[in-house]
Amino acid sequence: MSHGYRRVFARGPAWEAATCPFRHAHNFADDEGRRALDLHWKLSQSYFALALDPDRLWERLATVRVGGQEILTLAHEETLILLCMHGARHSWARLAWICDIAELVAAHPQMRWPRAAADRAGAGIPANRP
């Protein structure tokens, strides 16, 4: 691929091809193996019980500048929910996933917390109450 990224096959190309209908993303890494890029065609695997409404996500897209180009991305509130879903799906195995959430919150003090809470409830994520 151009720009120095290559497909990463966790268990080989045959396994990737066989499991593709059940997957939600392709994984890439730069030639040095220092940067990862996941290209998603679904927000999560089909068997994952929690889900955000895709139509609402499209209505709330934001733009960011990457490599001199403006691209569409998810709004901060939806990104927060997806980061939480991702960490939970993997039992928070990496401290970096918690740091990603902390950095997102710190970088966007204007985050609309009532909207994030509504998105959390809409995705079927229960509130953590004692």
Residues 53 and 113 in one domain: yes
68 domain residue, yes or no: yes
Residues 84 and 111 in one domain: yes
Residues 36 and 76 in one domain: no
129 domain residue, yes or no: no
Residue-wise pLDDT tens digits, 57-103: 888 898 988 889 999 998 888 888 888 888 888 899 999 999 999 99
Share of the chain above pLDDT 70, in %: 83
Q: State the DSSP string of the chain.
A: -GGGEEE--SS-HHHHHHHGGG--EEEEEETTS--EEEEESSSS-TT-S----HHHHHHT-EEEEETTEEEEE--HHHHHHHHHHHHHHTTT--HHHHHHHHHHHHH-TT--HHHHHHHHHHTTPPP---
What CA–CA distance (Å, rounded) separates 75 from 15? 33
Instruction: Report the pLDDT value the prediction gives residue 97, as an integer from 0 to 100.
Output: 93
Number of domains in the chain: 2
Residues 64 and 98 in one domain: yes
Query: Which position has the token pair 């950095």?
Result: 103
Instruction: Report the pLDDT value the prediction gives residue 27, as an integer from 0 to 100.
Output: 82
pLDDT of 130 higher than 50? no
Residues 97 and 57 in one domain: yes
More confidently predicted of 38 and 76 = 76
Q: Which of 22-26, 34-38, 53-57, 100-104 has the highest mean pLDDT?
A: 100-104
Residues 25 and 1 in one domain: yes
87 domain residue, yes or no: yes
Mean pLDDT score across all residues of the chain: 81
130 domain residue, yes or no: no
67 domain residue, yes or no: yes
Residue-wise pLDDT tens digits, 40-59: 777 777 666 666 677 888 88
Residues 19 and 67 in one domain: no
Residue 115 belongs to domain spanning: 49-124
